[in-house]
Amino acid sequence: MNRVQSVLSKKPKKWIANLLFVLAISALLVYSFRNTSINPMRIRSIPFLIGNFFNGFTEILWDALLGYGEFRFVESITYLALQTLAIGFFGTLLGSILAVPVSFLAAENVVGKRVAKVGTFFLIVIRVFPEIILAYILVKGIGGGPVTGILVIGIHSVGMLGKLFAEAIDSMDRSSIEALDAVGANTWQKIRFGILPQLMPLMSSIALYRLDINVRSATILGAIGAGGLGALLTIFSDPPAWSILATIMVAIMVMVMAVDTVSSYLRNKLV
């Protein structure tokens, strides 16, 4: 046996572990099909369904989309799209403002290990609590509408924003603060000239990233009554009114892609 072969034969045999992994995944996959059934009649109607879906886009209701004719602007889909955008925007703003103090409490190099653990735990609880259930509770508890949507998105985003903000604070360069100390800066000056310039670009980029996610979830939360387009989406989905759904989807596509483009452009500029 030459040297190459002997080295090759010493290669760790990982295939058993890999096989077990694949087997476990597939077994669970098979299990997850338990109690499912397919109606053959439905299968035959799939092409019609896809046809209807795309047909909807040829019958876009322009008067409902833009709010002329028998529709007032406040009733139009464009208005609701703007409202959805507003929910995403204010939600992100609220979330970022709330996340700043919490993230300092979760940053090890600011408050020390013990307090940081408590802060991190708090953030995990917020992150794990499902947004939809929060929306449900707030809609039942304080009433529906866009303001509730803002509250829901604002509170829920604190979880992720706080975690990422805390990571940004933890990775901060402390030498510039030391330098400010050396020239006799006071606490406010240290925050203003040592911490803020380092954190602002990172934090704004994180917030912009979250804005993208929030606008998407704002389009759904309306189903529960938290304002925005989502209510229409559920009202017209049973039975599906494809032309209306297509009209709403056009509004969502324009809105979400615009936010996506602006957010990623600004993030590229920041970092």
Smallest distance, other proteins to C-beta of residue 53, A: 6
Interface with other proteins (CB under 8 A): 25, 28-29, 31-39, 42-43, 45-46, 49, 52-53, 74, 79, 82-83, 85-87, 89-90, 93, 124, 127-133, 136-138, 140-147, 150, 200, 204, 216, 219-220, 223-224, 230, 233-234, 237-238, 240, 245, 249, 252-253, 256-257, 260
21 versus 178: smaller Cβ distance to other proteins: 21
53 versus 110: smaller Cβ distance to other proteins: 53
Planar angle of CA 209, 210, 211, nearest 5 degrees: 90
Q: Specify the amino acid at residue 150.
A: I
Measured CA to CA, the distance from residue 151 to residue 163 in angstroms comes to 19
Q: Which two tokens stand for residue 9?
A: 């034969």
Smallest distance, other proteins to C-beta of residue 69, A: 19
Residues whose CB is less than 8 angstroms from the CB of residue 217 and which lie 6 or more positions away in sequence, other chains included: 88, 131, 153
Smallest distance, other proteins to C-beta of residue 105, A: 20
Q: Which helix (H) or strand (E) holds 76?
A: none
Smallest distance, other proteins to C-beta of residue 80, A: 9
119 versus 178: smaller Cβ distance to other proteins: 119
Q: What are the b/e assignments for 100-110, b being 16+ CB within 10 Å? A: eebbbbbbbeb
